[in-house]
Amino acid sequence: MSNIIEIKKLRKVYGDGVELVALDDVDLTIEEGEVLAIVGPSGSGKSTLLNMIGLLDTPSGGEIWLKGQNITKASPKERARLRNKELGFIFQYHHLLPEFTAVENVMMPLLIAGMDKKEARHRAITLLEEVGLGDRLNNRPNQLSGGQNQRVAVARALAGHPSIVIGDEPTGNLDSKSSDMIYELLRKLNREMNQTFILVTHDMDMAEKTDRILRLVDGRIVCEMRREGDEFVSRDICRAD
Amino acid sequence: MLELFVAMKHIRTRKRQTALAMGAVGLAVAIIIVFRAVMNGSIEIFFDLIFELAPHALVLPKEGEEYIYLYKTLIEFIWTIPGVAAVSPTLSTTATLSFEDEVENVELTGGIPSEMNKVMSLDKYMIVGDFYAISSGRRVILGEGVMEKLDVKIGEDVVANFPDAKTMNLVVAGVFRTGIEEWDQGAYVSLETTQEFLGEGDVINYINIHLDDPYQGDAVAEEISARGYDADSWRTLFPEFEETLAFETFSNNLILALVLLIASFGIANVMNMLVLEKTREIGMLMAMGADGPSIRKVFVIESGILGLAGGTAGSLFGYIVSTYLHSLQYTITAPTAPQPIVIKFLVDPFDLIAFPLLALILSMIAGVYPAHKASKLDPVIALRG
């Protein structure tokens, strides 16, 4: 498998006077088709790392390579294009556009990409059927439950055939039943389409279903565990924290 | 187009904000349409009055001469010019009118009554007596001002004299009032009467011309000037009419532009609130790959649509209101005006299109700042809300 993301000595420092190091020389390689969980306490830099990979934020130092291309210093326009083409986002809050119906929300990344409306609608309907919302196409977010909205958000994240799907606490707002359902959905899509999933989560149940778990503390990767069969095996010596 | 799709969705679903923004612009445009209609109406009333009473073109003697001698040939020529409606050869002079102990210097104007009436419509302004009474005999029609000063009554004789002129008695046959003070200080007689008074023979000192279209005055004056006479149109004779009007129109339009500007601030405000309210969604659109220019376009298009829709509705409303007010035939009476004036509301079709377009442009400009602010949002911060 080839590396889809390579991160070299990535740093992010916030603040003018008092500096806050959010990411401290992080090195990370992510393979295509991998399902990766990033865990760690609040303020450990999980979301920052995710925003870097998602091209929403820019690093203070180091490099990010996406599919063999150095995108550390890409222009805002190029980053927007890559977000549209290569990335799909699922957030803790679904962030659906409240005025738009489920199908219109799923169409949105496709329309941004310049796809014809009719074609986009067709693809959106297929996706919504896949996430089990074929009968909720024309409902607005306020007419759907939390779990249903998150499924719409999943469908939207997948609409543009992104190579990487980023989830920032994708199930953080859901009950365990809905959480399981969302995770199973992601896993199924991963198997079918070989998409890469990078998930930030507090939910260890979910993390333990992934292929690899990274633990971040104070902006550093302190532990990395890989699945081998049913077991997780630590690659490095994992510090207790 | 994505931007239009998003903008239209906002407009359709945020009904109250949409109504507010459209209402502000619509009301402003409606006010402008009605205001300009009444402006156009009063300009027309003003010009109707001017064109009724003032010469459209005036011919004076050749340079260095006191009178127009061969005026009959000249009049014949003038009649050959297309669009000429009336030609009034006139001999006018200053005369001292006296009645008992009262004495008053007036402009004594002599002309052919029928032509003179066509160029001045004096019969419309008669208070007492008949304008055509001056056609025969030594009769005079006095302006109300002269009448009051001399304290004379209808049927009584006034004495006209002037150095070098023949003294004559004139019977007061009628009184007129135009409401224009200068004109109400005048006196009118037949052409023969002034010719006899001055004793210079069959001469005149000016020709007052009326045209079917007063705006042809310059062209007609030019044609007559080519024959060596000193001819001018009303434009050159009374430049103050158009100057006053231009100034009035300018200052009114300035006020109207400000009204529209204020209304577009309403749109700016609505857009500003929208951007604040939509921060998270803007962040999500950015995460999905919408770039800054695209976000900016959403909000500029949205304010443009609100401005154009509001402006069009306002234009239509203004037209309906103007038409209704016009149909009421509402009249006002001015203390000096001889007849009540019917207020006219004349809508210029140009306004109906121009002001919605102006509203569109101003609204888009008003939307630029909030749109720019939206496009500059940091997606990470925006997503946090």
* Confidence at residue B192, expressed as pLDDT on a 0 to 100 scale: 93
Query: Residue A193's domain spans which residues?
Result: 33-53+76-234
- Whether B254 shows a pLDDT value over 60: the answer reads yes
Residue A165 lies in a domain: yes
Summarised one tens digit per residue, pLDDT across range A5-35 is 999 999 998 877 778 888 888 999 999 889 9
Q: What mean pLDDT is reported for chain B?
A: 90
Give the CA angle between residues B320, B321, B326 to the nearest 5°: 100
First to last CA, chain A: 32
* Confidence at residue B337, expressed as pLDDT on a 0 to 100 scale: 63
Contact flag A84-B294 (C-beta cutoff 8 Å): no
Residue A97 lies in a domain: yes
Summarised one tens digit per residue, pLDDT across range B310-368 is 999 999 999 999 999 999 988 888 766 667 788 899 999 999 999 999 999 999 998 99
Across residues B150-160, what is the average pLDDT?
92
B248 versus B357: which is more confidently predicted?
Answer: B357
CB B60 within 8 A of CB B382: no
Q: pLDDT grade, residue A183 (50/70/90)?
A: confident
What's A227's domain CATH number?
Answer: 3.40.50.300
* Confidence at residue A139, expressed as pLDDT on a 0 to 100 scale: 94
Q: What distance in Å separates the CA atoms of residue B141 and residue B123, rounded to the nearest whole number?
A: 10
The residue of chain A nearest to residue B294, with distances taken between CA atoms, is A112
Q: What H or E segment, with its residue span, contains residue A142? A: none
pTM above 0.95, yes or no: no
* Confidence at residue A18, expressed as pLDDT on a 0 to 100 scale: 79
Summarised one tens digit per residue, pLDDT across range B262-321 is 888 888 888 888 888 889 889 999 999 999 999 999 999 999 999 999 999 999 999 999
* Confidence at residue B74, expressed as pLDDT on a 0 to 100 scale: 92
Query: Which residues of chain A have a Cβ shorter than 8 Å from any chain B Cβ?
Result: 51, 54, 56-57, 76-77, 80-85, 87, 89, 91, 93, 95-100, 104, 108-109, 111-113, 117, 156, 160
Of B13, B280, B289, Cβ closest to residue A112: B289
Summarised one tens digit per residue, pLDDT across range B44-62 is 888 888 888 889 999 999 8
Across residues A55-67, what is the average pLDDT?
90
Residue A20 lies in a domain: no
Q: Where are the domains of chain B?
A: 2-51+241-384, 55-237
How many structural domains are present in chain A?
1
Residue A124 lies in a domain: yes
**Those residues with Cβ within 8 angstroms of residue B108's Cβ, 6 or more apart along the chain or in another chain:** B92, B93, B94, B95, B97, B140, B160, B186, B187, B188, B189, B194, B197
Summarised one tens digit per residue, pLDDT across range B15-47 is 888 998 899 899 999 999 999 999 999 888 888
List CB contacts (< 8 A) between A49 and chain B: none
Contact flag B288-A156 (C-beta cutoff 8 Å): yes
- Whether A238 shows a pLDDT value over 70: the answer reads no
Radius of gyration of chain A (CA): 18
Summarised one tens digit per residue, pLDDT across range B237-246 is 888 888 888 8
Contact flag B291-A111 (C-beta cutoff 8 Å): no
Edge to edge, the sheet with strand A220-228 lists: A87-90, A164-168, A196-200, A35-39, A212-217, A220-228, A231-234
Q: pLDDT grade, residue B187 (50/70/90)?
A: very high
Percentage of chain B beyond pLDDT 90 is 58
- Whether B261 shows a pLDDT value over 90: the answer reads no
What's the ipTM? Answer: 0.89
Residue A171 lies in a domain: yes
* Confidence at residue A179, expressed as pLDDT on a 0 to 100 scale: 85
Helices marked H in B141-213: 144-150, 191-198
Percentage of chain A beyond pLDDT 90 is 43
Summarised one tens digit per residue, pLDDT across range B69-98 is 989 999 999 999 999 999 999 999 999 999
* Confidence at residue B338, expressed as pLDDT on a 0 to 100 scale: 63
